[in-house]
Amino acid sequence: MLLVVSFITFTLMHLVPGGPWSREKALAPAVVAALNARYGLDKPFFVQYANFLLGILHGNLGISYTYQDRSVTQILMQGFPKTAILGTTAFVFAMIVGISLGMAAALRQNTWIDYVCVMFSTIFASVPGFVLGILLMIVFSVVLHWFPTGGWGSPSQIVMPAIALAALPAAFIARITRASTLETMRQDYVRTARSKGLLERVVLIRHILRNSLIPVVTVAGPQFAALVTGSVIVETIFSIPGIGRLFVQAVFARDYGLIMGTVLFYSFVISIANLVVDILYGVIDPRIRYD
Amino acid sequence: MAPLLEVRNLKTYFYTQDGVVKAVDGVSYDVNRGETIALVGESGCGKTVSALSILRLVAEPAGKIVSGEMLFDGIDLLKLSKDDMRKMRGAKISIIFQEPLTSLNPVLTIGRQISEGLEFHKNMSVQEGMEEATRLLKMVGIPHPERRVYDFPHQFSGGMRQRAMIAIAIACQPQLIIADEPTTVVDVTIQAQLLELIRNITKELNTSLILITHNLGIVARYAQRVFVMYAGNIVEHGKALDVYHSPCHPYTAGLLGSVPRLDEPRKARLQPIEGQPPDLIALPAGCSFQARCAYSVPQCLKEKPVLTEIAPNHYAACWVSQKGLREWQKQ
Amino acid sequence: MATTVNAANASSRPHHTLWGDAWVRLRRNKLAMAGGIFIIILALAAIFAPLITPYGFARQDLTAILQNPSSKHWLGTDGLGRDVFARLLYGARTSLAVGIFTQVIVLGIGLPIGAIAGYAGGRVDNVLMRFVDVMYSFPDILLIILIKAILGGGIYQLFFAIGLVAWVDIARLVRGQMMSVKSRDFVAAARAMGGMGPYITERHLLPNSLGPIIVSVTFNVPRAIFTEAALSFIGIGVRPPTPSWGSMISDGYAVIFASWYQVFFPALAIALLMIAFTFLGDGLRDALDPKLRH
């Protein structure tokens, strides 16, 4: 799968008009030719691709054409921690808020908690991180001066981007959790559990919770993927030096190396996340294990 | 000796958008120690609801036990606190549900589901509970119980799941077991096995049993006394053999007539009861069965019949029966 | 002896068609109605923009830059003296156009592919679904950015870029419908009219799947609008002077501390429009759900 992704990306990248050397002031053709030769860009398409793949096998994702002193791998490694921290924080936040809100709403159906949850999840499930980020920035940075508008380094700088990124997944997860919990609560085995005289708390955790979470885990993977792609824009808004922002800059600069590297990296991360979700799914639901 | 369980005038209603469903409308029955009684009636007549009411498992807020008394060993179950009631469930009174496929939690092992009650009521550790669960599985006839105890419900067949449910019900050695249509969803051959199993266990542990069923074929063999329910009321009750041989209510007669019997000539046609059970929201003024009854008289339309003793220890709620005009018995 | 049997317990309920019933249910859903009305009002405002505001979206007035909302400029002016309200209205045109035209492309690609995959089954289906899987494993925004970078240009290329990536959901949907209908009607079709197979599926397929398709489109429109805004924000969406809420945000971003109105109004507009579509989509989904019919 990654192979196909890489091929498609490679192809597309080379279709982008202009080359990595397009600058505002056009370079002399001779210089361009020399640079191309140096980086192997004058070789036929498939040769370039083959070289690229070979490079990957050695863990080398190529050279960045804008940051010529560092390799793509190095650049990605620099940006990765920031993106990872932001992404993980947002993901954890989304799961915790989403699941708690969803369950609370289902357990106290038709009370104010339920109503708030449904409203919240409907509204925030529609507004993407990008827009929410801007609005948050306006309210909390510009008007109230509570948080800085971006950059990286201190914890306060992560609050808004994380919230902006997490809101949509949180809302979506809350919805799914609520629906799933409602469904589980109606199941016969919950009645069986009660008929054994178990404490309500035990019934809740052992019987209701675990079964309700099964569909939630299923969506966790795609939600994580959405988070990853959402971070591209959010990082740009909040000036976070992460991989998302690097990607955007790379596209502008026609930096082939960096573009390839970031796309592959993203795809890789998403695949890993899906794999983890699959494993988790097997852990939670024994019916899957034995098939 | 006082009965183990005495249900007096129980009323359980459901409050729905369309009206109040009087699922159980003044029902009384009793169970003696070590006795098996059968609660018989067609689907929707309220037998399951009355059983759930005993354990106070009726789904709130829609369902509510409106009035009545349920004396278990002298204690009124309706007056118990929620905590005390919980201590009763599973430990003193337990229930075997009808649907073994959906009544078991798919993500917990069978053993764990059996031992849960033991952990809670008898303070066993998980280890001890699992050991006891293994013993119980053996008792209900599951082969290789020491391995099976770690299986999940989806790895058990329907019949085996029902046996597991039985194991769960007897785990804490309750005094009363309620079996709600325990054999409806399994094959006929398994049905017989399960019923024998239940009978042996109740005899061995001297447990009382309320057997809820619509299958009259099993009533005579397994129950000492029978209570026939229709549209939320008991319409007849007495010793199983008495009710069987001389039913005092046309509905019971109808039920008996509609079941094929081996001792009848083959060419006798089955006699289903015409019509449908009444809507429990809009019950008629007089006898609920009147609309489908071939023997009714004008009084049946106006007054609701009361349970009266027709023969020694044999009661029926029917005006015609009280007058001695039991034509249906002659067929 | 009374023999009248109480047979008429079954109350006959009024028989609605799927669409009539759906419309009634939709009307009752206040949020969905609010969303729909908002969209309609916005669309009308966008279409009749020249009648509503005297300012063009590109008209610069360098004597009146970065003004706060006033009676002369209802929502203020931006860094080049352009009226924010006017730009908002004309930007709505762009957003709605993106919403509509991308869906046309999505349906144009997704419907046939999904139908072919579902109907043909076997190898064809396998190949097409492999392709769909690949597209799914791609982070979609990245792909859109790449495609747009290749195509260059402005709004029309943007339609393509978004459409080219977003058709997968519809294709899957149609394929699923096609396959379930195929298995249902298979017996009848095989028995009766071999050659009329497609005709039967058309008659059964359309009414059944139109509902989910409509819902899917309604949810896809805000995503397309959002994508346009995001891309324009980065700078590779529509090209100036085409108005866009996204580029308004990026323009205003630089001066956010001086005058936050510029960023606020377009952002709010995007948020409201997306919320409106979501409410409408939810309402449509509930209204068209055959399981909820009484």
Higher pLDDT, B230 or C1: B230
The predicted structure's pLDDT at residue C251: 81
User: What's the rounded Cα separation, in Å, for the pair B268 and B248?
Assistant: 22
Q: What's the mean pLDDT in A100-117?
A: 84
Q: What's the mean pLDDT in A72-99?
A: 82
Whether residue C290 has a cis bond before it, omega within 30° of 0: no
Same domain, B236 and B149: no
Same domain, B177 and B282: no
Nearest C-alpha of chain C: how many angstroms from A138? Answer: 7
Q: Could you say which architecture CATH assigns to the domain C44-54+76-292?
A: Orthogonal Bundle (1.10)
The pLDDT of residue A18 is above 60: no
- How many separate domains does chain B show? 2
Interface test with C, best of B17, B18, B274 (most C CBs within 10 A): B274
Phi, psi of C76 (to 5 degrees): 90, -175
pLDDT band at A74 (very low <50, low <70, confident <90, very high): confident
The predicted structure's pLDDT at residue B209: 92
Nearest C-alpha of chain A: how many angstroms from C258? Answer: 9
pLDDT tens, residue by residue, B199-219: 888 888 889 999 998 877 778
Which chain B residues touch C if contact means CB-CB below 8 Å? Answer: 274-276, 278-279, 290-296, 301
- The residue whose two tokens read 């800085």 is A148
Cβ-based contacts under 8 A for chains B and C: 24
In a domain? residue B266: no
Helix axes C84-120, C122-137, angle to 10 degrees: 150
Higher pLDDT, C251 or C209: C251
pLDDT band at B177 (very low <50, low <70, confident <90, very high): very high
> Tokens for B152?
């999940």
Q: What's the mean pLDDT in B142-150?
A: 89
pLDDT tens, residue by residue, A133-157: 888 888 887 777 777 666 676 777 7
- Out of A197, A207, A290, closest to residue B105 by CB: A207
Helix axes C140-151, A210-237, angle to 10 degrees: 30
Q: Which alpha helices (DSSP H) does chain A contain, by range? A: 2-15, 29-38, 45-57, 72-107, 112-124, 129-136, 156-185, 188-195, 200-202, 210-237, 243-252, 256-284, 286-289
The pLDDT of residue C14 is above 50: no
Helix axes A256-284, C122-137, angle to 10 degrees: 110
Neighbouring chains of C at 3+ CB pairs under 8 Å are: A, B
Q: In this complex, is the C-beta atom of A122 within 8 Å of any C-beta atom belonging to chain C?
A: yes
What amino acid occupies position B45? C
Closest to A15 (Cα-Cα) out of C246, C239, C157:
C157
Q: Which of residues 8-47 of C touch B (CB under 8 A)?
A: 9
The predicted structure's pLDDT at residue A36: 63
The pLDDT of residue A131 is above 60: yes
User: How far apart are the two ends of chain C, measured CA to CA in Å?
Assistant: 39
The pLDDT of residue A257 is above 70: no
Say yes or no for a CB contact (<8 Å) between A192 and B103.
Answer: yes
Could you write out the three-class secondary structure of chain C? CCCCCCCCCCCCCCCCCHHHHHHHHHHHCHHHHHHHHHHHHHHHHHHCHHHHCCCCCCCCCCCCCCCCCCCCCCCCECCCCCEHHHHHHHHHHHHHHHHHHHHHHHHHHHHHHHHHHHHHCHHHHHHHHHHHHHHHHCCHHHHHHHHHHHHCCCHHHHHHHHHHHHHHHHHHHHHHHHHHHHHHHHHHHHHCCHHHHHHHHHHHHHHHHHHHHHHHHHHHHHHHHHHHHHHHHHCCCCCCCCCCHHHHHHHHHCCCCCCCHHHHHHHHHHHHHHHHHHHHHHHHHHHHCHHHCC
The predicted structure's pLDDT at residue C185: 60
pLDDT band at C11 (very low <50, low <70, confident <90, very high): very low
Q: If phi over 0 gives left and psi between -120 and 50 gives alpha, with beta otherwise, what is residue C66?
A: left
Phi, psi of C273 (to 5 degrees): -65, -40
Please state the ipTM of this predicted complex.
0.80
The residue segments making up the domain with residue B252 are 230-261+271-329
In a domain? residue B255: yes
- Out of C257, C260, C275, closest to residue A127 by CB: C275
Q: Is the pTM of this model over 0.90?
A: no
The pLDDT of residue B241 is above 60: yes
pLDDT band at C3 (very low <50, low <70, confident <90, very high): very low
Give the Cα-Cα-Cα angle B236, B237, B238 (nearest 5 degrees): 140
Same domain, B246 and B139: no
Same domain, B177 and B305: no
C-alpha distances (whole Å) from B74 to each of B1, B4, C280 are 12, 8, 60
Chain A residues near residue C275 by CB distance under 8 angstroms: 122-123, 126-127
Contact A149, A158 (CB under 8 A): no
Q: What's the mean pLDDT in B290-305?
A: 79
> Tokens for C116?
């072919």
Sign, Cα dihedral of A164, A168, A171, A177:
negative
Say yes or no for a CB contact (<8 Å) between A130 and C234.
Answer: no
> Tokens for A285?
């639901």
Nearest C-alpha of chain C: how many angstroms from B281? Answer: 12
Same domain, B245 and B150: no
Strand, coil or helix: what is B23? strand
Chain A residues near residue B57 by CB distance under 8 angstroms: 191, 194-195
User: What's the rounded Cα separation, in Å, for the pair B221 and B271?
Assistant: 22
Look at strands B19-31 and B5-16 and give their pairing.
Answer: antiparallel
Say yes or no for a CB contact (<8 Å) between C9 and B293.
Answer: no
pLDDT band at C114 (very low <50, low <70, confident <90, very high): confident
The predicted structure's pLDDT at residue A54: 63
Say yes or no for a CB contact (<8 Å) between B294 and C5.
Answer: no
Identify the CATH number of the domain in which residue B27 sits.
3.40.50.300
Same domain, B99 and B159: yes
Nearest residue in C to B292, CA atom: C5
Q: Cα B291 to chain center, whole Å?
A: 26
Facing residues of B63 across strands?
B14
> Tokens for C163?
């459409």
pLDDT tens, residue by residue, C221-230: 988 888 888 8
Chain C residues near residue A237 by CB distance under 8 angstroms: 253
User: What's the rounded Cα separation, in Å, for the pair B317 and B302?
Assistant: 14
Same domain, B295 and B200: no
Chain C residues near residue A225 by CB distance under 8 angstroms: 139
- The residue whose two tokens read 């104010």 is A112
What amino acid occupies position B89? R
Contact B251, B214 (CB under 8 A): no
Same domain, B24 and B134: yes
Contact C281, C219 (CB under 8 A): yes
The pLDDT of residue C294 is above 70: no
The pLDDT of residue C106 is above 80: yes
User: How far apart are the two ends of chain A, measured CA to CA in Å?
Assistant: 24
- Out of A189, A284, A290, closest to residue B105 by CB: A189
Q: Which alpha helices (DSSP H) does chain B contain, by range? A: 47-54, 82-88, 110-121, 126-139, 145-148, 158-170, 188-205, 216-222, 240-245, 250-257, 298-302, 319-322
Same domain, B212 and B242: no
pLDDT tens, residue by residue, B45-87: 788 888 888 888 887 778 888 888 888 888 888 888 888 888 8
The pLDDT of residue B281 is above 70: yes
Q: Cα B41 to chain center, whole Å?
A: 9
- Mean pLDDT over each residue of chain C, to the nearest integer: 76
Chain B residues near residue A209 by CB distance under 8 angstroms: none
Facing residues of B308 across strands?
B316
Name the strand (E) or helix (H) holding B125. Answer: none
Nearest residue in A to B87, CA atom: A197
Higher pLDDT, A157 or C14: A157
The pLDDT of residue C13 is above 70: no
Nearest residue in B to A206, CA atom: B108
Query: B198 exposed, middle or buried (CB, 10 Å; 0-12, 13-18, 19+)?
Result: buried
Same domain, B206 and B236: no
